[in-house]
Amino acid sequence: MESARRFGDRFEAGRYLGEELRQRGYAAGAGVIVLALPRGGVPVGYEVARALHAPLDLFIVRKVGVPGHEELAMGAIASGGVKVVNEDVLDTLRLPRAMFEVVARKELQELERREREYRGNGSRPDLAGKTVILVDDGLATGSTMLAAVRAVRLAGAERIVVAVPVAANETCDAFRPEVDDVICAITPEPFYAVGVWYEDFSQTSDQEVRELLARASEELSHAGAG
């Protein structure tokens, strides 16, 4: 794996990651589905799905941040009612479990809003027996991705792959016992933060998420028709 580089934007990162996955033999014929974590993971997942000729969908996860320090995760929640608590953060900061529950309830409202925003009346994809590739724009603590992994396992996925363009090396390694495969395209040292490794790390909008999902679906149906 390459140790240090910067991506122009999430699309470039997705193309790079898609090539890594393709070289490892992942393709739609193997019952693969790409699930992107909104919002930043969606441009990455769009390019990965294109590279693999695989369907793209979403898996919605919300970080549960420490009040006043929201980037520091106490844990995360995911579609399907899954909660992951970062006990180390609670213990280190001497935070009560009740604080996690209060913030988690607020984040659940946003998770449900995004489900409605992106899916409308559509249903979540059937993951039973599938190889699920979970994609985000990077991994720092990994708490949101861990919530996704556990939720996808509950949904009956046969194989789970975590794939990101950039990650902290220790976080990448921590996922290896949790899933069937982990692809972290670059693991720079020192890591600092995900956004450092992108020239353009501007926020992805809800509209962009909807447009990319629609475009991916249209392109896949055209490829099938061809």
Tens-digit pLDDT profile for residues 47-92: 999 999 999 999 998 989 999 988 788 988 987 788 889 899 999 9
Quick check: is 98 in a domain?
Answer: no
Q: What is the pLDDT of residue 224?
A: 60
Is 116 domain-assigned? no
Strand order in the sheet with 69-78: 61-66, 69-78, 82-85
168-223 pLDDT per residue, tens: 999 999 999 999 999 999 999 999 999 999 999 999 999 999 999 999 999 988 77
81 occurs within a structural domain: no
Asked if 160 and 153 count as a contact pair (C-beta separation under 8 A), the reply is yes
User: Looking at residue 44, which CATH number applies to its domain?
Assistant: 3.40.50.2020
Say if CB 44 and CB 135 are below 8 A apart. yes
More confident residue, 73 or 17: 17
Asked, for residue 113, whether it belongs to a domain, the answer is no
Q: How many domains does the chain have?
A: 1
Domain that holds residue 148: 10-60+126-225
Q: What is the mean pLDDT of residues 117-137?
A: 89
pLDDT at 5: 81
User: Is position 31 within any domain?
Assistant: yes
Assess if residue 95 is contained within a domain. Answer: no
Q: How far is CA 90 from CA 28, 68, 81, 188, 225, in A?
A: 41, 14, 21, 28, 52
pTM (2 d.p.):
0.88
Examine residue 88 and state whether it is found in any structural domain, yes or no: no
pLDDT (0 to 100) of residue 4: 64
- Residue 51 maps to a domain: yes
pLDDT of 143: 84
pLDDT at 115: 87
Write down the pLDDT at residue 2: 47
Average pLDDT of the residues in 132-161:
92
What does DSSP say about strands 56-58 and 82-85: parallel, antiparallel, or unpaired?
A: unpaired
